[in-house]
């Protein structure tokens, strides 16, 4: 490649070459970012069938959105040459690292887990890499793994038959195996089915990963040889040298690697999920052993023997939809109570949300979540009377381990939660430490009416409109008037006051209220993650974005599913231009946020700013599904309806988009956030006059965040318009 400019890419320098072509670092002049461009070999580009297959598979691979997978930006053609533009990888290949040293066990497990996580995501979309090897694994300075060429390796046979087995960044030192003078550098990582020329599937990648794990753990290949024939014979007929304590590899890890290297693929790991789970279990057991060795013997039973329990949302038998907020609150509090017992592994709230109001068996839940036990039940509230039935089921046998029916007064609800947690621990023979007993005995409030108001307020605060926030604030303030020591209610008050200040005009009164409530919450519950999130919202609303990021990260570290935590982190990261950091935590944020559709917005904006159209399209589809599901349960949520209108507009569903926009603006014509999102929808449909009018009304209604507005990709078409620049100046 002699040209300095190819299409709209300025070539900077060559990065490597191999059987799948030559790779260059380049500057994307349209988007102002550095990328890698890979040119296909001429012989491949001249084969119409191979070229069409490459383009099809590259398009499929470009839909992958995973922090451990190199993102494909575009498939391009210039003067008869075909190339792809993709993420520029930083760091070094795993091959380079292994050439320096054998890896520690912790590094082996961490790198292998990230590769397995990437494979899990790709295999779920029917994409098999087929060329997993150290030269195709990049590791940056923070230890993050990136894998290139998903989907591209499927057409490797076209070049392998000619004897060229190189790949991106692979050196000739890696092509040292010879057969009649032909380089076959990747033979060592082939699966038996690849070696036989049979059809391959996802299990091929798992065998190759097993080979990489063996090499990382032992410092040598499992199937060595001086020629390709010797290596083929070893892969097909010989077992690798045993790993184990004698080789400095823990026995449990050796067994994981052995299973990945099973020659019979029916006996091998069948999915990347299975392999990833075993690695996670090994990592947990090592950590548990380290704590015991350090003298931490307070846990009964040990972490390696912890019982995994999935707590399903109780069935609401009252028949009153209004009671669902109470049912949800009780269930989530029981999850929280059980999470205080270190001898139990409790699945977080977002994980079990998928089963709410669905007919499932304990065996089904146990199989899908790898849970040993499932707690289910029902709740009926009538006046001041409460009836709760609970059953703890063995997920393997579908038989009950413990069951109980409680007929209590409403004021007994906290003791009831405590008792359920203790009974489950007793049924599973888990001994509670004094600290755990004290934690279970602690109550969020001594006043049941205050607790009920708090739960009711939470159900409205999630919707963000002025009317809903005002109603939620009243609920929270009434709660603290009943119990002046209710830290969670003070934190929730701080949240809604900060949001009111941020969304609906910058009246100092709202910030003063938010700060006072946050200070009170901090005094009463300084260690509560919910209090930290409240502090962060106050900082965010006041423009102190970096401080907000630091505090909310601490809250998430203590409680990943802390309500609103990841959404706030996403907004703050986007507002500070830290797009890649936000994109990297997208999956964790979505998983931890459960049904909170709000979490998608900053992630989508970051993907748009990074120039990742396929990843953005995939994320929008996921948000659309999440909002449609939410609106079937809460059709009155106008914020959700407006955001759905934006998604429909982007998808070209103009009639559906206008329907949602019209309903939302009719229901809440003066809501700043509704008007702002209406502007986004109009802009997407090229209705720029309507977009500017809606944006002006949003500004008049109090939404005046110029930083977010100017970064929002949905409003790019308005940049430069005098009215837009007047309202939201740079």
Query: Is 131 marked active-site?
Result: yes
Scored b (16 or more CB within 10 A) or e, 446-477 reads ebbebbbbbbbbbbbbbbbbbebbebbbebbb
Q: Which of 87, 107, 99 is nearest to 31 (CA)?
A: 87
Q: Which of 118, 156, 143 is nearest to 19 (CA)?
A: 156
Q: Which residues pair with 10 in a beta bridge?
A: 5, 27
Cβ of 208: how many Cβ atoms within 10 Å?
A: 26
Catalytic residue (one of 131, 149, 561, 596) = 131
Asked if 417 and 334 touch (Cβ cutoff 8 Å), the reply is yes
Q: Is the dihedral of CA 620, 568, 584, 6 positive or negative?
A: positive
Q: Which residue has the tokens 């500017």?
A: 692
Structure tokens at 5: 């400019």
Asked if 228 and 183 touch (Cβ cutoff 8 Å), the reply is no
Query: What is d(CA 134, CA 208) in angstroms, rounded to the nearest whole number?
Result: 10
- Beta strand 178-179 with 182-183: parallel, antiparallel or unpaired? antiparallel
Query: What is d(CA 541, CA 188) in angstroms, rounded to the nearest whole number?
Result: 56
Q: Which residue has the tokens 């070229």?
A: 51
Structure tokens at 446: 């001594």
Q: Which of 235, 455, 433, 416 is nearest to 325 (CA)?
A: 455
Q: Which of 711, 643, 647 is nearest to 676 (CA)?
A: 643
What letter would DSSP give residue 329?
H
What letter would DSSP give residue 535?
H
**Mapping DSSP to helix (H, G, I), strand (E, B) and coil, where does residue 10 land?**
strand
User: Annotated active-site positions, please?
Assistant: 131
């Amino acid at each position: 490649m002699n040209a300095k400019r190819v299409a709209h890419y300025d070539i900077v320098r060559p990065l490597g070459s191999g059987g799948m072509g030559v790779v260059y670092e380049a500057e994307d002049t349209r988007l102002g970012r550095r990328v890698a461009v890979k040119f296909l070999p001429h012989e491949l580009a001249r084969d119409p069938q191979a070229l069409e297959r490459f383009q099809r598979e590259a398009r499929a691979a470009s839909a992958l959105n995973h922090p451990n997978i190199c993102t494909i930006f575009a498939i391009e053609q210039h003067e008869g040459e075909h190339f792809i533009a993709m993420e520029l990888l930083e760091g070094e290949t795993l091959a380079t690292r292994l050439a320096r040293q054998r890896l520690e066990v912790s590094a082996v497990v961490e790198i292998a887990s990230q590769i397995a996580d990437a494979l899990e995501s790709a295999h779920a979309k029917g994409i098999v890499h087929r060329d997993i090897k150290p030269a195709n694994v990049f590791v940056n300075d923070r230890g993050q793994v990136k894998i290139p060429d998903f989907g591209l390796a499927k057409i490797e046979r076209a070049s392998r038959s000619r004897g060229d087995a190189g790949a991106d960044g692979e050196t000739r030192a890696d092509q040292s195996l010879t057969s009649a003078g032909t380089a076959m550098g990747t033979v060592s990582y082939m699966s038996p089915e690849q070696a036989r020329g049979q059809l391959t599937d996802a299990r091929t990648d798992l065998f190759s990963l097993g080979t990489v794990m063996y090499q990382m753990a032992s410092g040598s290949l499992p199937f060595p040889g001086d020629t390709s024939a010797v290596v083929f014979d070893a892969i097909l007929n010989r077992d690798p040298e045993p790993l184990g304590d004698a080789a400095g590899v823990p026995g449990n890890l050796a067994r994981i690697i052995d299973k990945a290297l099973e020659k019979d693929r029916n006996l091998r790991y069948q999915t990347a999920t299975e392999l990833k789970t075993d690695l996670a279990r090994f990592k947990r057991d090592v950590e548990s052993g380290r704590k015991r060795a350090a003298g931490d013997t307070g846990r009964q039973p040990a972490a390696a023997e912890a019982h995994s329990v999935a707590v399903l949302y109780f069935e609401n038998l009252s028949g009153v939809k209004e009671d669902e907020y109470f049912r949800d609150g009780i269930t989530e509090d029981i999850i929280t109570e059980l999470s205080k017992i270190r001898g139990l592994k409790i699945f977080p709230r977002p994980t079990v949300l998928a089963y709410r109001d669905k007919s499932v068996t304990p065996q089904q839940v146990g199989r899908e979540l790898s849970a040993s036990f499932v707690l289910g039940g029902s709740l009926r509230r009538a006046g001041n009377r409460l009836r709760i039935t609970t059953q703890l089921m063995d997920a393997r046998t579908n038989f009950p381990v413990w069951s109980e029916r409680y007929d209590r007064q409403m004021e007994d609800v906290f003791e009831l939660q405590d008792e359920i947690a203790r009974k489950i621990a007793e049924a599973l023979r888990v001994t509670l430490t004094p600290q755990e007993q004290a934690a279970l005995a602690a109550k969020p409030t001594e006043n049941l009416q205050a607790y009920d108001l708090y739960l009711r307020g939470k159900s409205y605060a999630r919707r963000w409109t002025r009317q809903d926030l005002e109603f939620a604030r009243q609920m929270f303030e009434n709660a603290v008037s009943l119990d002046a020591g209710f830290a969670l209610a003070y934190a929730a008050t701080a949240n809604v006051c900060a949001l009111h200040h941020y969304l609906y005009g910058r009246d100092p009164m709202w910030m003063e209220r938010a700060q006072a409530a946050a200070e009170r919450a901090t005094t009463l519950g300084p260690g509560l993650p919910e209090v930290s999130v409240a502090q962060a919202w106050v900082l965010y609303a006041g423009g102190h974005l970096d401080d907000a990021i630091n505090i909310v990260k601490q809250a998430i570290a203590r409680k990943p599913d802390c309500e609103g935590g990841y959404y706030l982190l996403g907004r703050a990261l986007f507002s500070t231009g830290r797009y890649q950091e936000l994109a990297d935590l997208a999956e964790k944020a979505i998983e931890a946020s459960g049904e909170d559709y709000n979490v998608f917005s900053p992630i989508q904006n970051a993907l748009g700013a990074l120039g990742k159209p396929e990843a953005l399209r995939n994320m929008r589809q996921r948000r659309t599904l999440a909002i449609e599901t939410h609106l079937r349960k809460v059709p009155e949520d106008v914020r959700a309806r407006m955001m759905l209108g934006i998604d429909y507009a982007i998808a070209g569903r103009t009639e559906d988009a206008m329907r949602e926009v019209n309903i939302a603006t009719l229901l809440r014509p003066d809501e700043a956030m509704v008007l702002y999102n209406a502007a986004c929808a109009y802009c997407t449909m090229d209705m720029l006059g309507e977009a500017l009018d809606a944006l002006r009304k949003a500004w008049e209604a109090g939404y005046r965040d110029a930083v977010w507005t100017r970064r929002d990709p949905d409003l790019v078409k308005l940049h430069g318009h005098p009215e837009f620049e007047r309202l939201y100046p740079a």
